[in-house]
Chain A
């Protein structure tokens, strides 16, 4: 068959697509398809291959074929790995410019972030002057919140695509941390604008935009969680994600979103499996009287269900407890079902269909998956210890605040999956808790408030020592990268405060708070002027969030210092 596909078509090699299709048509007419099924398959394959050759594109090696979508009707491409990351998005119309930037490569995304919101970029840089000034009165910087409000007029200039991309940028300060309520509201508003553009586009454009959103949502999970629910109402991913050929991104979001939903439901006491769930979460082995605390059938059903559908939820359960429940149960002895081994095809010899990858990983998936899970767990253990101090582990954290423990675990998972390793996981966790410590701590009173503010003062100093941009980032957004060197004693205090807050459930979602104004007593202002050696006018400006960045940083520190005495 050296001359395939031309021999099958009965023509000489040609670049003329019409000639190929005519030859195909002539052959089809001379055969009885039902009597010669294999001949028909071969003929089709010959035509498709000839058309590809004619296009000047020799069929690449099967596994390099980039477009899996052609699979079902283009035999021979079945085994192409699905490509769904960063497919380019070309859009006409008013948002075209932004999309060109936001679509493909990570590098371009960085650029985009710089352009849209330099204040959110860890690199800081020349754009700092458009930092949103969210206080217009003589506000005390120490009470200044964060920059989440943004400047509406600035934002309005950008397409919703760019804005959404910025909010879900995982290289940004927020990483994949869940959004707070204000961010969520804003992101949903932007998403609705995006979906509106989608609604008014033709299906192919819709398809491209859908792929773009899918990529972004997968990258930013779990931060993207609330948005997935909303987008699902338009794209009906829930109709796809349990399908045998669901796109990987849809399947990924489907699994996580359903796990998320189930997790929320099972924690309610009225849920059918609530008792079983609680039982499996108890630490340590179950005693012989375990049947008293939960119905054995329920426990086994829950475990089987979780393993089948939401493997990630098993991390919420106690391994010893699971083991003791499993020990008592006998595995089904009759196995009349089958194990898919390999997908041999009769037509494989003809090259019509190659083994598909979809079933192979399922068989060996167990070991690889288990290894991944262990890596994630190790990273999580380290992240929790780094954040709350030695002697604190994920089990402890789960007892204190389960949603926080989930959030940190997700950060660890993301760090491991993106290759940042245990160090990356620890950094993300520290940054995440640091932000919450401040945002929640400023809403406390008495000793907690004082400890929060003293910690902030020391962290601001550390940030200032790094550079002004870092200082302002922490000042405005509550973000201080873990890479910034912080004195050992300060870190110890931070860990103690974090653990203390966690134990009292004070590290939950920060409450929404707008800019607050307060008048600063003259004596304090005088103190600040003395400490910073700045003219009075500059100090006043800086306190209103105006003026040069260095001044704002210095004034904030001086004012905080003066206030704390």
Chain B
């Protein structure tokens, strides 16, 4: 079975293609979105999603969120006393989504289409693919998030569409794609983005703005770093969401039994977010320039990603495009639905027979070269593009290069991805060393062919006519090789984690929420919460389903009351 997964910075979702339709799969708590949060206790007990998020402020040292922002880097998170790579934690979330599908359909999915931000670089893509494999999935294809959203939007009525623009601002990444649809061909014309800009940055900006006013006495500085960051982040997120519907909102948190609180106005938030809003412009301009389309020609501006709900972002969009955006797709669901449509396409589902999708490679691929400068010196480390950004994929291109030194015996090909003139500003994907017959400088040439397929797999061939030899490098293998040996081991380690039985998911989530509420409050309210928790735990011990259901309903209702009663 082939499923479509949106592995997001803030939330993840899974959808399946069945009966000629894309359908989101609810998690154990009945929610369609599973927060991308994982909490692991010392004994290996694991919380995923909403309960993990609730444990964030209470057990920050055991909990990870926004790990998508670190994927493709060497950074690790220490949870429950063990080190986890970002792709490990991602795999844990993917595992939960797989179990959700299994619970709904009774069939364990084995293959998946996973979405990635269009502007994810090759390393980030590979790490995402590994996460899928760690979760026991064969990743049939990685598809760009705005492309997936465009599929979901474009297939709403299956009619033709003049070029439209997908504006995808998620929790951690920002993508823009210009797409058109004609006779069932969904054609991505250009993508641009910023893989370091998202809703999280708006939270950080808000927290940084509020901190001096909120905490003039520096109480927060006494907290351990991770706890301080966790409470600030949570408070910032709550406040930012409230500001989406109100002109003023409270920024509040509890530190060491002291409640800190301040009001933030919409205007203040807008000012704090201004530098981030400015960064939205450049990818938009680039995507339009690359597709040679004017803002006025766009038939629609489609909003995707939770962060597009912010009024400050909507305002900027309206200004940039001189029109109001289209909100006909659900900003949090479109990507997962699109992924499942792509899954249907990969599986050659009959209902999608008339649909094809063509995408572009959103960044430039090339090799490192040196050039002689006007003084006779060597300028090393320059980037020579072979496949230029926004070239439709699959694509295959050849460039010819020649030796620079007399009697040079080999040529080193550093393979890079990026837009910078100097390779130091780009991402290195691999290296290929090719022996050449020693001749005077410039007499030996080598033809370098880059082939980029629709899954984002790059293959490099070098042919040296002078020796008749050819060399080949499949980039994905090169990077994956060390991990291949490792992957089974990692998978086994992850399998050792303890998951709560599905039927207990509700209790687990409620307990995590209650514990968070207990930490968040002080005085009489805290005492009351403590009391309700004891009652709930007592009910659980009786193992009497009726009593448990009653206690759960009661505790949920009380917590709802408390959460909605703010300020205290």
Contacts and interface: CB of A to CB of B under 8 A. Distances in A.
B454 interface: yes
B378 A337 contact: yes
Interface string B483-508: 00000000000000000000000000
B396 A37 contact: yes
Interface in A292-346: 304, 307-308, 311, 331-332, 334-346
Nearest to B289: A69
Interface string B356-399: 10101000101111111111111110011100111110111111
Interface residues of A, number: 69
B294 to A, nearest CB: 4
Interface string A258-278: 000000000000000000000
A338 B402 contact: yes
A202 interface: yes
A-B pairs, 5 with minimum CB distance = A366-B374, A335-B405, A337-B370, A25-B183, A202-B322
Contacts of A171: none
Contacts of A370: 374
27 contacts: A34-B453, A38-B396, A72-B390, A73-B291, A73-B390, A201-B322, A202-B296, A203-B284, A234-B278, A242-B420, A242-B425, A243-B420, A244-B419, A246-B421, A307-B374, A335-B378, A336-B404, A336-B408, A339-B369, A339-B370, A339-B403, A342-B400, A344-B398, A346-B398, A347-B396, A366-B375, A366-B376
A346 B403 CA distance: 20
B295 A204 contact: yes
Contacts of B260: none
B185 A73 contact: no
Contacts of A234: 278
Given A335-B404, A337-B368, A202 B295 contact: yes
A67 B291 CA distance: 12
B321 A37 contact: no
Contact of A344 (B377, B400, B403): B400
Given A71-B388, A206-B320, A353-B397, 18 more contacts: A26-B183, A34-B453, A73-B290, A202-B319, A203-B288, A204-B295, A242-B425, A243-B420, A335-B404, A335-B408, A335-B441, A337-B370, A337-B404, A339-B369, A341-B400, A342-B400, A346-B397, A365-B374
B371 A362 contact: yes
A70 interface: yes
A28 B397 contact: no
A85 interface: no
A335 B401 CA distance: 14
Contacts of A246: 421
Given A28-B356, A340-B384, A243 B421 contact: yes
B518 interface: no
Contacts of B385: 244-245
Given A344-B447, A366-B372, A206 B289 contact: no
Contact of B442 (A339, A343, A344, A362): A339
A338 B371 CA distance: 7
A235 to B, nearest CB: 8
A105 interface: no
A200 B358 CA distance: 34
Interface in A348-376: 353, 359, 362-363, 365-367, 369-370
Contact of A338 (B290, B383, B403, B421): B403
A207 B291 CA distance: 14
A308 B377 CA distance: 10
A38 B395 CA distance: 7
Interface in B326-382: 354, 356, 358, 360, 364, 366-380
Given A37-B451, A69-B290, A366-B375, A338 B183 contact: no
B282 interface: yes
Nearest to B361: A72
A166 B289 CA distance: 29
B410 interface: yes
B185 A25 contact: yes
Contacts of B400: 341-344
B373 A200 contact: no
Contacts of B367: 338
Nearest to B384: A340
B276 to A, nearest CB: 13
Interface in A1-45: 21-22, 24-26, 28-29, 33-34, 37-38, 40-41, 44
A466 interface: no
Interface string B400-434: 11111100101110000001111001000000000
Contact of B374 (A74, A78, A203, A367): A367
Nearest to A335: B405
A353 B405 CA distance: 29
